[in-house]
Amino acid sequence: MPAIELGTVELGGPRAAIIVPLTGVDDTQLLAEADEAAASRADVVEWRVDLLDDPAPARAVRLAPQVSAHADRPLLATVRTVVEGGGFDSCFVEYGRLVGALAEAEGVGLVDVECARPGADELIGAVHAAGRLVVGSNHEVSLTPDTGTMVAVLRSQAELGADVCKLAVTARTPADTARLLEATALAHAELDRPIISMAMGPLGLVSRVMGQDFGSAAGFGSLGGRSSAPGQVPVDELVDVMGRLDRLRRVPGPRRASA
């Protein structure tokens, strides 16, 4: 699977990238969080534009280069709608205007597009025309679909043209998380682009810390106790745990006894 290079960060490479969200509601809080992200061990910063107290396109365009400069990391701009667990509660036209403005904004490297919304293919095309990469996303905030449905969702994101395919589900049982990991592995084997997946909630922890073993290209860690989704692990703990797991993966196995 070809990896995506974001400066010095490789998305879809041998090591899962660490993404931290910025959730500030005003300029001061947002830029302070971006400074905190710059001092962290995160690889990528996700700016949750939907959580601004006034997520107007003009304001987002003005803020984007400042956020990018303060964070000093590749910047993923996300407008998460209420339907998928976010704060943006407007029609698809307004959603498209904001996403389109972010695609044109200085400092933005990737733009999230919710693929379940009408006209997602056209919006993905517009983001690409602006020279930005697309993270196609689907979020199930109340359940975990069956394995086949989850693979089909990731496949449909790729067919729409997303450069990265992302799926988040809500785990109500351990079996839910197991299905999410199985779907991730199946989609990873099939698709020719990076996949990001997670099971939200306490029962989904294994998907956040060991997702790369099943084909997930990144994990989301919280910054300063502020999370953007249920079950996010503090970024320092996530980096430490994933680092220890990497070291364990490299430990040689026991030698077979000779006859």
Note if 188 is an active site residue: no
- Which is catalytic among the residues 70, 128, 139, 188? 139
- Stated as kind and residue range, the H or E segment containing 113 is strand 110-114
Residue with tokens 């364990």: 248
Structure tokens at 65: 């280069």
* 167: nearest Cα among 203, 202, 143: 143
Q: What residues pair up with 216 in beta bridges, in sequence order?
A: 195
Note if 70 is an active site residue: no
| Amino acid in position 111 | V
Structural contact between residues 79 and 99, judged by C-beta atoms closer than 8 angstroms: yes
* 232: nearest Cα among 219, 243, 245: 219
Cα–Cα dist 31/37, whole Å:
10
- Which is catalytic among the residues 70, 128, 166, 188? 166
Beta-carbon contacts of 187 under 8 Å, excluding residues fewer than 6 positions away, are: 150, 151, 154, 155, 165, 195, 215
Catalytic residues: 139, 166
